[in-house]
Amino acid sequence: MATIHADDMLLTVPAKARARLMKEIEGPVKMKWTDTVTEDQWVRFLGKEYRRIKDGFAVRVPPEYYEKLLEMFRLETCRSVVSPAENVSDHGTKGESLSDQQVSQYRTAVGKLMWMIHERADLAYVVKELARNLREPTTVEWGRLKRCLRYVRGTTNAEQHLTYNSQEPETLLQVMVDANWARDGGRKSTSGGVLLLQGFPLEHWSKTQANIALSSGEAELYAMNSGAIELRRLSNVCAELGQTLVGMLLCDSSAALAVPYRRGTGRMRHLEAKDLWLQEEFRRGHIKFQKIATADNVADLLTKPLTGPAMRGLCTDLGLMLQPGELRDEVNVLEAHPPPTCERCQRLAEYDCTYAGQLFWRCPGCNRTKSWHAYQRGWTVWQDDGAPASSRDDQQPLPPTPRRTATTARTGRSRTVASSTTGSPPSPVTQVYVTTGSTDSRAPLGAQLDANSADPALQQSLATRRQIDYLAGLCRRRGRDEATVLRPGLTKAQASAWIDQLR
């Protein structure tokens, strides 16, 4: 295989045939051969650096490229952040105009970042958003750019691993798509997609949709159309080369996946015919469709800002390796600080819950609690249930107060919620409402373990469907048996604790 760009060529052949093929090329063309890509050193090609790894190659942006970019903003020694963008919406926020020099710096920096996103999928979404306002950037875009550069400061050693999955068929061409509905100021959605051949990442994209979607399902449908077009384009090219590929489109939206199986528009008459061509592709057998869990959909990385742990998990699934040393600002509390031993009864405390930046352990003997405060990086003293709150001067965090016993009222028939493990019998629960204060307003607390029990521990809410799906994806990613985590009667607090541990 040869990758040719103008007068530059990257040749990928078996070692035995390399000398013969190089000799044949040198006949009609004058060539100057440079270094061979090995495991020992990085070799530069078209500005990027390549190195051999097991079952493939690693490619990266040269570290000096990052340094020159950071020098433009005097951020060589800045403190890094764990995500390139904040997960908040600033719709309607208007900033002040920048000076001519700042506008020039902004455009130059965005252009340099755009050159990196082929090997840095974690930057694709934020760079796409920065590039949307190159004409008249304001202080809002300037702040976004500075945060992105602080994230770049901590990820200068990122490597994109180009490997294949030997467990998948050689003819399997997959595209994972996702959409983020109506997030930007113009209420246009973002489509993201990743194209994989036998698990080998070929292409990824993050694009703003041309039309304003009227629902999240419609936005996902537009993303499926974009992904299917890329899939059909590559499959047609391979067909001309004599290789037949099986196309598979994966999406995490049940509403959008239901469209190709229908015939006609149904109630979606506002959609144009061009948006329903997936139905014809499905009937002809050109594309197969499959549901994928949100936690496993790497295209989610390309549509919205994510938290640090979630983003790093998806980057790993895509083959983008962020070095462990880059995460020095984060602390894995569960590994660094195991559960303490109670001084009163000499029993090892059990992991209880997480709350507002604190991790709580409870002694099974005397029922006292002790916590690790994530912000203060320190332990609290053992506290009995019902102990008075400490003063502001001490700054001692307190465990969350248990849910108070209140008069419950059944509303309609009892709902049946399936347990977390497949095949286990469902447990009947009821929707419970607790009166808050002296007002008549009622706050829904969701399905509980035992709504009629006076024990606050049995009044805890069961884990939500979203928590269960996310936990299942984390278990598969970490190689842990789901049955040991997703047990019947899993509460929200327990699910949050497992999420913190597996992330």
pLDDT digits (tens, 9 = 90+) for 215-235: 888 899 989 999 999 999 999
Same-domain check for residues 77 and 153:
yes
Q: Rounded distance, CA 445 to CA 270, Å?
A: 38
Q: Looking at residue 115, what is its pLDDT?
A: 94
Q: Rounded distance, CA 347 to CA 406, Å?
A: 32
Same-domain check for residues 143 and 154:
yes
Cα–Cα distances in angstroms (integers) from residue 246 to residues 1, 168, 231, in the given order: 22, 12, 10
Same-domain check for residues 246 and 232:
yes
Same-domain check for residues 285 and 171:
yes
Asked if residue 440 has pLDDT above 50, the reply is no
Q: Looking at residue 108, what is its pLDDT?
A: 95
* Total residue count of the chain as it appears in this document: 503
Same-domain check for residues 236 and 287:
yes
Q: Is residue 107 part of a domain?
A: yes
Q: How many Cβ atoms are within 10 Å of 368's Cβ, its own excluded?
A: 20
Instruction: Report which secondary-structure segment, H or E, holds 53.
Output: strand 48-53
Mean pLDDT, residues 258-279 taken together: 70
Q: Is residue 244 part of a domain?
A: yes
Same-domain check for residues 44 and 24:
no
Same-domain check for residues 178 and 251:
yes
Q: Rounded distance, CA 444 to CA 45, Å?
A: 59
Q: What is the largest CA-CA distance in the chain?
A: 92
**Cβ–Cβ under 8 Å, residues 173 and 231:** yes
Q: Is residue 450 part of a domain?
A: no
Between residues 253 and 8, the one the model is more confident about = 253
Average pLDDT of every residue of the chain: 75
Asked if residue 175 has pLDDT above 60, the reply is yes
Same-domain check for residues 119 and 45:
no
Same-domain check for residues 339 and 284:
no
Kindly indicate the confidence band of residue 376, based on its pLDDT and cuts at 50, 70 and 90. very low
Mean pLDDT, residues 146-175 taken together: 89
Burial-class residue 11 by CB neighbours within 10 Å (0-12, 13-18, 19+): middle
The total domain count for the chain is: 4
Q: Rounded distance, CA 230 to CA 224, Å?
A: 10
Same-domain check for residues 296 and 173:
yes
Q: Is residue 393 part of a domain?
A: no
Same-domain check for residues 268 and 210:
yes
Burial-class residue 259 by CB neighbours within 10 Å (0-12, 13-18, 19+): buried
Domain that holds residue 190: 36-57+159-301
Asked if residue 389 has pLDDT above 50, the reply is no
Q: Looking at residue 411, what is its pLDDT?
A: 34
Task: Tell me the DSSP string of 68-130.
Answer: HHHHHTT-TTPPP-SSSS-S---TT---PBPPHHHHHHHHHHHHHHHHHTTT-GGGHHHHHHH
Same-domain check for residues 189 and 278:
yes
